[in-house]
């Protein structure tokens, strides 16, 4: 497999194909079980109406999609990794869940304008080759008055917390992620992708650039997780 880089979508896709079988276990362990509250905060920030339809970009194995469906909405989960979607599909009975999973490209969403009552991308935007295009596509497919949200890791502003966070990313995550999934290089990429990603303030600027207004920034988990939303 080629060296993983957001500028090389195929390398990112291949990485997630390999991680899929053990992805959930690795995420839960690495986040120390805190990933679910972050997703809940993001879902609440989108504030989609009950009985509405929402879009979960880079859905992966479906943790956001399944959680969001418990809030009385219909969820479409999109991802470009077929193996991730296969794992997601294996988790539920379609007759008991308001979730549909489809394969697709976040840079060219296969939906008409104004199709959804909200859109969220959790831990996926930094892996995309053209982040502005991804944001623009998320805005395009939501209805006026709906919110677009990005949930992702970021470097904490507190120097002590940032130092601990960086050591955790550099040393602990590749070791633990590698032991669980058998692929430590993917978790080295995780650390570097976070280090090179936008700050919440920069992300808000990019959201405004594509036409989103009323942007809001919130830091979670001692500043290591950012939640940014904007309205169409």
CA distance 123 to 126: 7
Evaluated on CA atoms 67, 69, 75, 77, the torsion sign reads positive
- Max CA-CA distance within the chain? 49
According to CATH, the topology of domain 9-155+199-231 is: Rossmann fold (3.40.50)
Give per-residue pLDDT as tens, 52-72. Answer: 999 999 999 999 999 999 999
Angle, vertex CA 146, rays to CA 144 and CA 152, nearest 5: 135
pLDDT values of the chain reduced to their tens digit, one per residue, 232 residues: 457 677 787 887 888 888 877 778 777 777 777 889 999 999 999 999 999 999 999 999 999 999 999 999 999 999 999 999 999 988 876 656 789 999 999 999 999 999 999 999 999 999 999 999 999 999 999 999 999 999 999 999 999 999 998 888 888 888 877 777 787 777 787 778 888 899 999 999 999 999 999 999 999 999 999 999 999 9
Under 8 Å between Cβ of 44 and 37: no
Under 8 Å between Cβ of 225 and 219: yes
Give per-residue pLDDT as tens, 90-111. Answer: 887 665 678 999 999 999 999 9
In the chain, what are the domain boundaries?
9-155+199-231
Within 10 angstroms of residue 154's Cβ, the number of other Cβ atoms is 26
Structure tokens at 23: 């992805």
DSSP 8-state symbol, 108: B
Angle, vertex CA 81, rays to CA 96 and CA 18, nearest 5: 110
């Amino acid at each position: 497999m080629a060296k993983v880089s957001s500028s090389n979508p195929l390398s990112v896709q291949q990485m997630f194909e390999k991680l899929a079988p053990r992805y959930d276990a690795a995420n839960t362990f690495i986040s120390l079980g805190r990933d679910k509250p972050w997703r809940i905060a993001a879902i609440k920030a989108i504030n989609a109406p009950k009985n509405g339809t929402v879009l979960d970009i880079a859905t992966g194995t479906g943790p956001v999609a399944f959680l969001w469906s418990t809030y009385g909405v219909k969820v479409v989960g999109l991802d470009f990794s077929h193996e991730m979607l296969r794992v997601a599909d294996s988790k539920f009975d379609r007759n008991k869940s308001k979730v549909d999973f489809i394969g697709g490209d976040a840079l060219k969403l296969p939906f008409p304008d104004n199709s959804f009552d909200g859109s969220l991308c959790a831990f996926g935007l930094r892996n995309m080759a053209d982040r502005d295009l991804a944001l623009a596509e998320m805005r395009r497919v939501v209805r006026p008055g709906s919110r677009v949200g990005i949930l992702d890791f970021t470097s904490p502003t507190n120097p002590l917390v940032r130092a601990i966070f960086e050591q955790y990313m550099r040393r602990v995550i590749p070791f633990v992620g590698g032991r669980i999934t058998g692929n430590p290089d993917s978790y080295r990429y995780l650390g570097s992708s976070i280090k090179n990603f936008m700050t919440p303030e920069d992300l808000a600027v990019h959201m405004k650039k594509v036409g989103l207004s009323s942007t809001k920034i919130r830091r979670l988990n001692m500043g290591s997780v950012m939640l940014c939303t904007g309205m169409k």
